[in-house]
Amino acid sequence: RGVLEIYAPLAHRLGMNIVKAELEDRAFAVLHDSEYKKIQERLRLLHPRASQAIKKVEHELSHKFHASGLTDVIIQARVKSPLSIYRKMQKQSKGIDELEDIVAVRVINENKEDCYKTLALLHEIYVPVEGSFTDYISYPKLNMYQSIHTTCDVGGEIIEFQIRTGDMHRTSEYGIAAHWRYKDMSALAAKGLKNWLDSFYEWQMDKLSRDEFIHNLKTELSYDEIFVLTPKGDVKRLLNGSTAIDFAYAVHSDIGDHFRGCLINGVMQPMGYILKSGDRVEILTAKRAHPSRDWLKIARNPSARYKIRRRLRTGD
């Protein structure tokens, strides 16, 4: 269980997708042997249908890319992993035969501009599924992952597409190790990694109990992220379930320490308001405002909780 709750998410946070996938697959087979075997058996029976869909997509895309002048494009198609399918079944309360998107296609381009050309071509050929588009190239994940995600109806078969460059693919597969190997980690990526690693030092200084440390670790390693906007339109990445006070501390410690109120999409909301992607958040501050122990019950982000405790200790 620790593999699924800590080690695989840790590999995910470091962007090491190959390691993450291997750990998850092995752990799922051990922890949920019956479900694993059932899904594997159904995937075996669905293989002809999936293979046909994959061949159709590869043929159509290769022809379209060539005709449009997109060269050196790599198309990789696969059936999703048993754990990925199991999680989708749980989330949607569906059986495996009811799931529509068991096939995923990855398109690897030479550069960022070609990624957006590929997206336009995909939506020209196939019918995009409403609400499925996410641009992680413009807004990378915390682990530096970048890709465009879109899901399309391909002749009745629902297929998820991931569009990225070769460098983005290398980062997705090997994470920060890819940057260390090629000595090309950007200053922004290095700063993000340092800030995340610093949080472990903060917890140690905070003298957390073992249970608190493990809880914080699981929270920080959560796969789910949201994208929230500042009044100026800057994007802040937060863990799913974050509140307004978490956002305030993510912007700056001083803003969090002097939190007086917040406007979410122009409407006054309480400190404990749970944010969602796309929310525009404005924090109202006051010099006399300062943290109280009640704030610890509202903050969800371990980093925000640490900053609140630190301010309570110093009493500045």
Model pLDDT, residue 158: 87
Alpha-carbon gap, residue 249 to 255, rounded angstroms? 6
Domain of 91, in residue numbers: 2-181
Burial 212-247 (b: 16+ CB within 10 A, else e): ebeebbeebbeeebbbbbeeeeeebbbbeebbbbbb
Among residues 150, 181, 212, the one where a domain terminates is: 181
Model pLDDT, residue 204: 61
Alpha-carbon gap, residue 30 to 37, rounded angstroms? 11
More confidently predicted of 161 and 3: 161
Residue type, 169: H
Domain harbouring 260, CATH code:
3.10.20.30
Burial 69-103 (b: 16+ CB within 10 A, else e): ebeebebebebbbbbbbbebbeeeeeebeebbbbb
Average the pLDDT over 266-278 and give the result: 93
| Residue 204, token pair as written in the block | 């140690």
Average the pLDDT over 283-298 and give the result: 93
Model pLDDT, residue 221: 63
Task: Transcribe 171-192 into DSSP letters.
Answer: HHHHTHHHHHHHT---HHHHHH
**4-14: per-residue pLDDT in tens?**
777 787 777 67
Alpha-carbon gap, residue 244 to 266, rounded angstroms? 13
Domain harbouring 25, CATH code:
3.30.460.10
More confidently predicted of 107 and 71: 107
- Same domain as 161, residue 34: yes
- Same domain as 166, residue 40: yes
Average the pLDDT over 59-82 and give the result: 89
Average the pLDDT over 170-194 and give the result: 59
Residue 275: pLDDT above 90? yes
pTM: 0.64
- Same domain as 203, residue 88: no
Q: Is 193 exposed, middle or buried (0-12, 13-18, 19+ CB in 10 A)?
A: buried
Residue 116: pLDDT above 90? yes
Model pLDDT, residue 265: 94
**145-168: per-residue pLDDT in tens?**
889 999 999 888 889 999 999 988
- Same domain as 135, residue 72: yes
Alpha-carbon gap, residue 272 to 248, rounded angstroms? 12
- Same domain as 166, residue 70: yes
**13-33: per-residue pLDDT in tens?**
676 777 888 888 888 888 888
Residue 179: pLDDT above 60? no
Residue 187: pLDDT above 60? no
**205-258: per-residue pLDDT in tens?**
666 666 776 666 666 666 577 889 999 888 888 888 899 999 999 899 999 999
| Residue 116, token pair as written in the block | 């957006």
- Same domain as 210, residue 158: no
Model pLDDT, residue 206: 63
Model pLDDT, residue 278: 87
Model pLDDT, residue 182: 46
Count: domains in the chain:
2
Q: Is 272 exposed, middle or buried (0-12, 13-18, 19+ CB in 10 A)?
A: middle
- Same domain as 175, residue 87: yes
